[in-house]
Amino acid sequence: MLYLRQIAMTYQNLMRVWTIVLLAATVLSAQNKAPWKMPRTADGHPDLEGVWANSTRTPLERSPAFAGKATLTDAEAKIWEQKDAESWKELDGTSDGPLHVGKGSAGTGAYNVLFYDMGSELARVDGVKRTSMIVDPPDGKIPALTQQARERNRGAAPRGNNVDNVKNRGLSERCLFVSMAGPPMLPTLYNNNYQIFQTPEAVVIMVEEIHDARIIRMNAKHAPQSIRQWLGDSIGHWEGDTLVVETANFNDQTHIRGSSKDLKVTERFTRYDVNNIVYKATLDDPATWTIPWTVELPFVAAKGPIYEYACHEGNYAIEDILGGARKIEAEAAARK
């Protein structure tokens, strides 16, 4: 018995020694683990190149359910995300299943929920989940329209409801422009992917949906105001490790939330770890809103690649849309 007791004590002592060794190894490993180091290009600036995605369940504007609450704890966010996932699951279908009425053109439905890709979580910035992309004003809402904007829009048929001619239809319906191309670069229902390329002279952002390519000229001057573009004229510079992009000279058809052609957007791209870029954009248009407003959301590293995007829905549907309107007009005229 004494011999067995000695063996047991020896085994216990060995286990204590191994435990101490393992704990020490763990501590040393944690201490020796090199902190993340900002990757840099040959000219010394942060390397933003790669494929990034900004899919998120966080809405642009804060829901009344989260009034006065800009952020959520992980536990609070998980409850909301689970409920949101369950509500969407009810709408899900196969490729020949029911359409999600209300997500597309009014009354006709849209793509199956199966094809939507908005992520599964609320956006996380600074370690916390956000309840709205808008961070300023603090209420998470787009500011009120100015009197000038109200007068500009008074009596004008919404672009998507105007059936006078092809050019009065919505830009996304005609496969010309979507909001995710920006600026500001806001996610939509799917294809929320971007690829960034960098040189000392320019930064190019390739947008998957509608396959636009934003060319940001570094340390340059804006083109004359007489030169107007769909995506505006983007000029970039570095402020420390943050890429700052100022865009102006939009044309008079690119209406971002009702903006005028005098909209100015200031974007800030700050990479803060291997997988995340914090994207912040301020929209300033005194002809449209009473005050500027700012959005902030993460761009998360994605495997890629950026896929070739084909948009034909508007091309196929526009004849029926306008033809149907002419038929309704003819029938109304015949009744007179």
Q: Is the pLDDT of residue 30 over 80?
A: no
Query: For residue 200, what pLDDT band results from cuts at 50, 70 and 90?
Result: very high
Same domain, 23 and 62: no
Mean of the pLDDT values across residues 310-334? 86
Same domain, 145 and 4: no
DSSP conformation letters of 76-92:
HHHHHHHHHHHHHHTT-
Same domain, 12 and 61: no
Report the alpha-carbon distance of residue 26 to residue 20 in Å, rounded: 10
Identify the pLDDT of residue 110.
59
Same domain, 156 and 190: yes
Same domain, 192 and 246: yes
Which has the higher per-residue pLDDT, 73 or 188? Answer: 73
Same domain, 22 and 58: no
Same domain, 20 and 61: no
Identify the pLDDT of residue 291.
98
Q: Is the pLDDT of residue 201 over 50?
A: yes
The beta-strand segments (E) located in 116-190 are: 124-125, 128-130, 134-136
Which has the higher per-residue pLDDT, 97 or 246? Answer: 246
* Average of per-residue pLDDT values in the chain: 84
**Amino acid occupying residue 166:** V
In a domain, 333, yes or no: no
Report the alpha-carbon distance of residue 170 to residue 309 in Å, rounded: 19
Phi-psi group of 44: left, alpha or beta (phi > 0 → left; psi -120 to 50 → alpha; rest → beta) = left
Residue tagged 């390739």 (tokens): 206
Identify the pLDDT of residue 92.
61
In a domain, 334, yes or no: no
Task: Kindly report, residue by residue over 59-86, the tens digit of the pLDDT.
Answer: 999 999 999 999 999 999 999 999 988 8
In a domain, 109, yes or no: no
Report the alpha-carbon distance of residue 260 to residue 232 in Å, rounded: 12
In a domain, 175, yes or no: yes
Report the alpha-carbon distance of residue 158 to residue 318 in Å, rounded: 16
Are 175 and 284 a contacting pair, CB within 8 Å?
A: no
Q: Is the pLDDT of residue 97 over 70?
A: no
In a domain, 328, yes or no: no
Count of domains forming the chain: 2
Same domain, 25 and 144: no
Report the alpha-carbon distance of residue 229 to residue 217 in Å, rounded: 14
CA–CA distance from 89 to each of 84, 112, 116 (Å)? 9, 11, 12
Peptide bond into 138 cis (omega under 30): no
Same domain, 22 and 157: no
Same domain, 226 and 282: yes
**Amino acid occupying residue 171:** L
Phi-psi group of 333: left, alpha or beta (phi > 0 → left; psi -120 to 50 → alpha; rest → beta) = alpha
In a domain, 78, yes or no: no
pTM, rounded to two decimals = 0.82
Query: For residue 2, what pLDDT band results from cuts at 50, 70 and 90?
Result: very low
In a domain, 120, yes or no: no
In a domain, 242, yes or no: yes
Same domain, 59 and 17: no
Contacts 24+ apart (CB under 8 A), 265-268: 265/182, 265/183, 265/184, 265/232, 267/182, 267/183, 267/184, 267/185, 268/239, 268/242, 268/243, 268/244
Structural domain of 23: 1-30
